[in-house]
Amino acid sequence: MTDRRILPGLLLFALLCAFLTVPGALADETVPYDLDIYVTYHGADGSELIFTAEPAAVTGQGAEYALLLPQSARGTAAVYMNDVNGLLTRFSPASGTTFVLEDADIRTDPAHALAFRATGYTDNGDAYPILLYTEYEEQETETPVPTPTATPQPRTVTVSVHYRDVGDNAVAGDTPVTLPVGVPVSVEAVPVDLKENYVLTGESPRTVLVESEQGPFPEIVFYYEYVPPVTPAPAYIKVRYLTDLDEAVAPDQQITGAPGQEMVVYAEPQGLSEYCQLTDESQKVVTLPQSGETVTVVFRYTVSLPATPEPTDTPEPVRTATPQPAPGTSFVQVSYTYQDNDLLNYSESVLVMEGETFLTGEQGLRPGYVLISAPEVLIRVDTSGQAEPQRVSFIYAPESSHPA
């Protein structure tokens, strides 16, 4: 037996099909045009939504289009039509007419899914039917998300790690470590403020086991011993002032420094004759050798003696010259002492001529230091080459300990 509720819908659909095939009602079913059809309506949030209709084959009568809409699309909408080829110049109802979106879907109820019907006319008066059906997106079935099973958190305790010397005195602050209960773990010695010159004597890491949250907890102690620092023996730089023939023009000098230290050595000879001219660069960068070893730096000079005047035809008067003794010379031992750094200390032999000569401590002054001994010392050398005094010492201290 046919359901009586379906009969009215089927009857309406049959009448519609009969009307579309009535002779003379509309032009030939062949559709010679290309339509753009779109529908606008306002969503739940008030925003305007636009959907484009696509060609569909439902009854084969006229131009049939299907409008794919979301499930939420209900209520009043406006339809807009345009013939791309320009053959249909007028529509009835006109483009922009409103209609109501119903629940019917073309796939399940094509008779009731006919949401809008219009007729397009050419300039010659030919009429063509336009049918717009609704189709709704299928609802997606949500897959239930399983509730995750909570992973039990491991039981832990926090204990302190100690760092001590052989006398059980602390050599660094304690550090906390979190340990699981019932699981052996390795703990490493990681002191954050270890005293200088202390080295680890025991094993690290160590395996520790906490048996219960209530204790007793294992005592974790790492032991260290003090190792005195080793001061390396100094290294030396020998500074020589020579001609190209390796003849000395001034006494050698010696500079003391730390092994591997990079130093700038300056050409600062003592007792150099005015006839000697430096032909080398005035300073050289030198890296000190290993402990106890000496590296030699040479500065080259030329000796230019004054020219002897040519004899003249005029005879010189005979004079009786008073013989003059050869000037006396003497080497004076000069030492440079730095109060806070033995590696900078050095000494040299300075050639002093007969008469009175002042030796100053400026040449030994290094950046960051001040001279705290007498700035200059008077040296007297007699005709026999005896110097007084024979030893001179200049003493330096850091600027921070002797502010100006």
Mean pLDDT of the chain: 81
According to the model, what pLDDT value does residue 401 have?
Answer: 81
Q: Which of 7-21, 58-72, 343-357 has the lowest mean pLDDT?
A: 7-21
180 with 36, same domain: the answer is no
How much is the average pLDDT of 116-127? Answer: 89
Q: Give domain status of residue 362, yes or no.
A: yes
What's the full length of the chain, in residues? 404
Neighbours of 77 (CB within 10 A): 22
Say if residue 393 is in the same domain as residue 260: yes
Q: What are the pLDDT digits (tens) for 205-250?
A: 888 888 888 878 888 999 999 999 887 789 999 999 999 888 888 8
355 against 26, higher pLDDT: 355
Q: What is the pLDDT of residue 301?
A: 94
Dist CA 64 CA 54 (whole Å): 9
- Answer for the pair 333, 391: CB distance below 8 angstroms, yes or no: yes
User: Scanning the structure block, which residue is given the tokens 């030396």?
Assistant: 236
249 and 300 co-located in one domain: yes
Indicate whether 147 belongs to any domain.
Answer: no
Residue pLDDT, tens place only, 74-121: 888 899 988 888 888 899 998 889 988 877 777 877 777 788 889 989
Shared domain check, 191 and 211: yes
What pLDDT, in 10s, does the model give residues 278-332?
999 999 999 999 888 999 999 999 988 666 556 555 555 555 444 444 467 888 8
Collapsed DSSP state (helix, strand, coil) of residue 230: coil
The pLDDT value recorded for residue 142 is 61
One domain for residues 391 and 372: yes
Determine the 3-state secondary structure of 14 from DSSP.
Answer: helix
10: three-class secondary structure by DSSP: helix
- Please tell me the pTM assigned to this model: 0.31
- Two structure tokens written together for 206: 């160590």
Query: What is the reported pLDDT for 36?
Result: 87
Confidence bin at 354 (pLDDT 50/70/90): confident
| Average pLDDT, integer, range 149-153 | 71
**Using omega within 30 degrees of 0 as the cis cutoff, is the peptide bond preceding 144 cis?**
no
Total structural domains within the chain: 3
| Residue 117 belongs to a domain | yes
- Classify 342 as helix, strand or coil: helix
Asked if 62 contacts 119 with a C-beta cutoff of 8 angstroms, the reply is no
Domain assignment present for residue 178? The answer is yes
CB environment 267-301: b (16+ within 10 A), e (fewer): bbbbbbeeebeeeeeeebebebeeeeeeeebebbb
What confidence score (pLDDT) does residue 2 get? 40
Distances in whole angstroms, Cα of residue 376 to Cα of each of 75, 237, 338, 372: 110, 25, 17, 11
Tell me if 99 is assigned to some domain. Answer: yes
**Has residue 402 got a pLDDT over 80?**
no
**Same domain flag for 295 and 363:** yes
Q: How far apart are CA 49 and CA 97, in angstroms?
A: 16
- Domain stops at, among 226, 259, 277: 226
Among 203, 226, 249, the domain boundary falls at: 226
User: Can you give the residue range of the structural domain that contains 362?
Assistant: 235-304+326-401
Co-location of 342 and 391 in the same domain: yes
User: For residue 382, is it within any domain?
Assistant: yes
Tell whether 108 and 252 lie within a shared domain. no
pLDDT digits (tens, 9 = 90+) for 193-215: 899 999 998 788 888 888 888 87
Token pair in block for residue 62:
């006229």
Same structural domain for residues 256 and 393?
yes
Residue found by looking up tokens 């339509």 in the block: 35
174 and 47 share a domain?
Answer: no
Instruction: Look at residue 161 in the predicted model and tell me its pLDDT.
Output: 93
Preceding peptide of 216 cis, ω within 30°: yes
pLDDT classification of 254: cutoffs 50, 70, 90:
very high
Same domain, 115 and 57: yes
pLDDT at 140: 61
Of all residues in the chain, the percent with pLDDT exceeding 90 is 22
Calpha distance 34→124 (Å, rounded):
18
